[in-house]
Amino acid sequence: VEQGDAPRLTALMEPLHPADIADLLEQLDQGPRHRLIALYGREFDGEILSELDDSIREDVIGALAPDVLTDAVRELESDDVVDLLEYLDEPTQEAILEVLEASDRVAVERAMAWPDQSAGRLMQREVVTAPERWTVGDAIDHLRASDDLPDQFYHVVLVDPRHRPVGHVTLGKLMAADRVTPLADLVEPSFRTIPATQDEEDVAYAFNQYHLISAPVVDDAGRLVGVITIDDAMIVMNEENEEDLLLLAGVGDESIADRTLQIARQRFPWLLVNLGTAILASVVISQFDEVLAALVALAVLMPIVASMGGNAATQSMTVAVRGLATRDLTGNNALRVLRREVVAAGINGAVFAVIMGVIGTIWFGLPMLGVVLGAAMVINLLVAGLAGVLVPLTLDRLGIDPALASGAFVTTVTDVVGFFAFLGLAAIVLL
């Protein structure tokens, strides 16, 4: 396909959704990607830009011919342009703002005035409103008379004389009701407004928790400034979930389209932190070099204690981090969750202590080695349960994303405690 046959390429790409074309561009290397864009030429749709991953969006914009870019951007709704601009550098932002028509540019610039990742950035500005005293008939006549209704809308928002939203009516109810019914009789019980400065993560939480379909956005004075719909909230929720997953694994904001050097550079700091904690664990081990020299079996078995503690801690920690993200773990039940994690870890610790005690005894023929191994296992799993909950909770209290930093702290604790408990007990009991 890539042999310069532009009409054939266009024919092949025609049935594809912009999101699929964006995925295709993300999967290509830079060279073929630019050739494809050049060939595709004027057919390039603005929505493809919206669908692209941040990491290659700038690259694609740079590869577009200026007139193609102008057409593509002008096709987009103003909230999509805002979304597009958010992750671009200044010069590219300016270039795009310049090609917009004046009215769109004002709308976009006003949206960009809201904080990063806030409801104000996420919302669309076009809202269908009706005065709160109108009847169904008034609203329908008004809708049929307007000629620039938004592409997608699901509710008519009722506003008071000061343009503050007081309720909303679904289009379905509007359709089904008598013309004389007051709109105020049809409002949805699930109505909620969202402050424009609210973080988009909290917006996504509200949509998911209360099954909202759309919600009006208000400024500090409570006046209607826009509306957020569930499809935008779904995208945010998916991104936040992805972020937590990657952060917990020590991967930053990374995508499958990133280049090798970028990847290596982004992962380096996490590995460096891990190196620091690993060296700390080694320092603990080095305190016991005489014990190790006297009994090599200790060196053979000690990674088991550390590894089991690390695993148990990761389990507790992940449940705690997820609980914090979904607000299922709160100040009210923190103590109960902590107690439960520690007791559960203690139960498993006791079981594994017996298993390992037996294995250690048989393997090296030293019953006391088995006892030491079992005791260290119980201690380390208890500490794992404790640290797995306390570390994320503490980070959250300090205003740090618990997904970001919990892993390093928690495994440091279990490594250090594991080696110290095992080798320390061995030094006392076996020598």
Site for a copy of itself, residues 297 to 336, rule: CB under 8 A: 297, 299-304, 306-308, 311-312, 314-315, 317-319, 322-323, 326-330, 332-333, 336
What is the C-alpha R_g of the chain? 29
- Whole-angstrom Cα distance, residue 210 to residue 232? 15
Closest distance to a copy of itself from the beta carbon of 227 (Å): 13
Give the amino acid at 241: N
Please name every residue paired with 195 in a beta bridge, in sequence order, or none if there are none. 218
Closest distance to a copy of itself from the beta carbon of 226 (Å): 17
Q: What x-and-dash track marks residues 366-405 binding a copy of itself by CB under 8 A? A: ----------------------------------------
By CB under 8 A, which span of 34-42, 54-62, 81-89, 137-145 interacts with a copy of itself?
Answer: 137-145
- Whole-angstrom Cα distance, residue 195 to residue 114? 11
Question: Interface with a copy of itself includes 83 (CB under 8 A)?
Answer: no
List Cα–Cα distances, 206 to 103, 119, 172, 214, in angstroms: 32, 12, 23, 11
Tell which positions 183-242 bind a copy of itself, by CB under 8 A.
Answer: 190, 207-211, 213, 230-231, 233-235, 237-238, 241-242
Closest to 425 in 3D by CA, of 328, 332, 330, 360: 360
Question: Interface with a copy of itself includes 275 (CB under 8 A)?
Answer: yes
376 alpha-carbon distance from chain centroid: 37
Name the strand (E) or helix (H) holding 277. Answer: helix 260-286
Give the amino acid at 209: Q
Name the strand (E) or helix (H) holding 382. Answer: helix 367-397
Residues in the chain, how many?
431
Tell which one of 15, 146, 398, 431 touches a copy of itself (CB under 8 A).
Answer: 146
By CB under 8 A, which span of 3-11, 157-165, 216-224, 251-259 interacts with a copy of itself?
Answer: 251-259
**Structure-block tokens of residue 186:** 């049809």
84 alpha-carbon distance from chain centroid: 18
Q: How many C-beta atoms surround the C-beta of residue 265 within 10 A?
A: 12
Tell which positions 400-429 bind a copy of itself, by CB under 8 A.
Answer: 415, 419
Tell which one of 65, 106, 152, 429 touches a copy of itself (CB under 8 A).
Answer: 152
Tell which one of 1, 12, 335, 355 touches a copy of itself (CB under 8 A).
Answer: 355
Closest distance to a copy of itself from the beta carbon of 241 (Å): 4
Between residues 55 and 93, which has the closer beta carbon with respect to a copy of itself?
55
Cβ atoms 280, 416 nearer than 8 A = yes
Closest distance to a copy of itself from the beta carbon of 281 (Å): 6
Q: Cα-flanking dihedrals φ and ψ of residue 195, to 5°?
A: -65, 140
Tell which one of 27, 30, 133, 428 touches a copy of itself (CB under 8 A).
Answer: 27
By CB under 8 A, how many residues form the interface with a copy of itself?
A: 115
Closest distance to a copy of itself from the beta carbon of 56 (Å): 12
Question: Interface with a copy of itself includes 2 (CB under 8 A)?
Answer: no
Tell which positions 28-47 bind a copy of itself, by CB under 8 A.
Answer: 29
DSSP state at residue 232 = H
Closest distance to a copy of itself from the beta carbon of 98 (Å): 28
Between residues 95 and 278, which has the closer beta carbon with respect to a copy of itself?
278
Q: Cα-flanking dihedrals φ and ψ of residue 187, to 5°?
A: -65, 150
